[in-house]
Amino acid sequence: MLFSKIFIDMENARWNLSKDIPWDKFNADRLSDRQLHGIKMNALLEWAAVPAVEMFLRDNPNDPDFAAFISIWFFEEQKHSLVLLEYLRRFAPDFVPTTEELNEVNFEFDRASPLESLALHFCGETRLNQWYRCAHEYHDEPVIKHIYTTLATDEARHARAYFQYMQRAIQKFGDTARLNFAKIGVLMTNARLNPALHPTNLHVNKELYPRDTITSRLPDPDWLRRWLDNEIKFDVEWESKVEQGILGNMSALLSQKFKTSADLRQYRKKLEITGNNSVRKEIEACSA
């Protein structure tokens, strides 16, 4: 069971919302309304862990080890939202989201492949770690700077936990898992296709399309793109950190060296051909 070890790792790294955030260091002169708007949108984005948890529990019905891990992940993501909400409550109450705005990002996700969801969240956490490092550099106000570093560290731990479940999935499901992970790895390292590659930006409910991404349900649906490009300035250098983080981990996971997204795409193609050949051989053997 992975949960027992992950639980201890996460418990050892846990921070206290009241005691470990330097609330008394707040400096109002180092903060703009534009930045407060970003903090509000970010609090809403973090609040959206609820439907992801419902999806994970629904789509992994026979996996109590993973469900147990999700209980901690859920707790920590809600805490991320709460610390940002608390920041707004203390220092900029006009920016606290309304109950309606919080409810709007809670909607049901369609069923999805559990292996793809796992890889998506691993990549998402890896990306979020870099977004928050970048947000830490962008902000000048000491308390929010501290919060973004704290969140970035948590997101990196989440990525490591999801990675361990991916390793376990390869032991259990072999090439099926490899193929799913390579597919998502290619998608999530292709920033030219969609530069805001994160689960909160993916369409997850056909009936609600096009308002079926988390970001599309924010009070400011274009915020994330603008925040990345014009505010925190998440440029190609940052993007390459995300890409190298994902490719480095995919290399370790799949025992191959992937320097670029194209290498991973090539690997995926080979795996598909091998898979098709073995299916063909099975069909030939049956009909012989």
Q: Using CB under 5 A, which residues numbered 181 to 210 contact Fe ion?
A: none
Angle between helices 49-59 and 33-47 (to 10 degrees): 20
Distance CA 32, CA 230 (A): 14
- Candidates 80, 127, 133, 146; binder of Fe ion (CB under 5 A) is 80
Nearest distance in Å: CB 236, Fe ion: 24
Buried b / exposed e along 127-161 (16+ C-beta atoms within 10 A): bbbbbbbbbbebbebebbbbbbebbbebbbbbbeb
Nearest distance in Å: CB 162, Fe ion: 9
- Candidates 59, 63, 155, 239; binder of Fe ion (CB under 5 A) is 155
Radius of gyration of the chain (CA): 20
- Name the residue nearer to Fe ion (CB basis): 86 or 125: 125
Nearest distance in Å: CB 270, Fe ion: 32
Nearest distance in Å: CB 121, Fe ion: 8
Nearest distance in Å: CB 213, Fe ion: 17
Asked if 133 touches Fe ion (CB under 5 A), the answer is: no
Q: How many residues bind Fe ion (CB under 5 A)?
A: 6
Instruction: Check: CB of residue 249 under 8 Å from CB of residue 260.
Output: no
Stretch that binds Fe ion, among 22-30, 79-87, 109-117, 190-198 (CB under 5 A): 79-87
Amino acid symbol at 191: A
DSSP 210: T
**Tokens read off for 231:** 């505010």
Nearest distance in Å: CB 175, Fe ion: 28
Q: What are phi and psi of 14, to 5 degrees?
A: -65, 140
Stretch that binds Fe ion, among 17-25, 62-70, 124-132, 269-277 (CB under 5 A): 124-132
Asked if 59 touches Fe ion (CB under 5 A), the answer is: no
Nearest distance in Å: CB 49, Fe ion: 7
CA distances from 40 to 34, 82, 88, 256 (A): 10, 11, 7, 41
Residues 5-44, mask of contacts with Fe ion (x by CB under 5 A): ----------------------------------------
Instruction: Check: CB of residue 3 under 8 Å from CB of residue 71.
Output: no
Distance CA 176, CA 79 (A): 34
- Name the residue nearer to Fe ion (CB basis): 155 or 212: 155
Residue where the block lists tokens 């929010």:
144
- Name the residue nearer to Fe ion (CB basis): 97 or 178: 97
Distance CA 264, CA 257 (A): 9
Q: Using CB under 5 A, which residues numbered 203 to 262 contact Fe ion?
A: none
How far from each other are the two terminal CA atoms of the chain, in whole angstroms? Answer: 43
- Name the residue nearer to Fe ion (CB basis): 158 or 265: 158
Stretch that binds Fe ion, among 69-77, 110-118, 129-137, 189-197 (CB under 5 A): 69-77
Asked if 158 touches Fe ion (CB under 5 A), the answer is: yes
Amino acid symbol at 89: R
Q: Is 21 helix (H, G, I), strand (E, B) or coil?
A: coil
Nearest distance in Å: CB 204, Fe ion: 17
- What are the residues binding Fe ion (CB under 5 A)? 46, 77, 80, 125, 155, 158
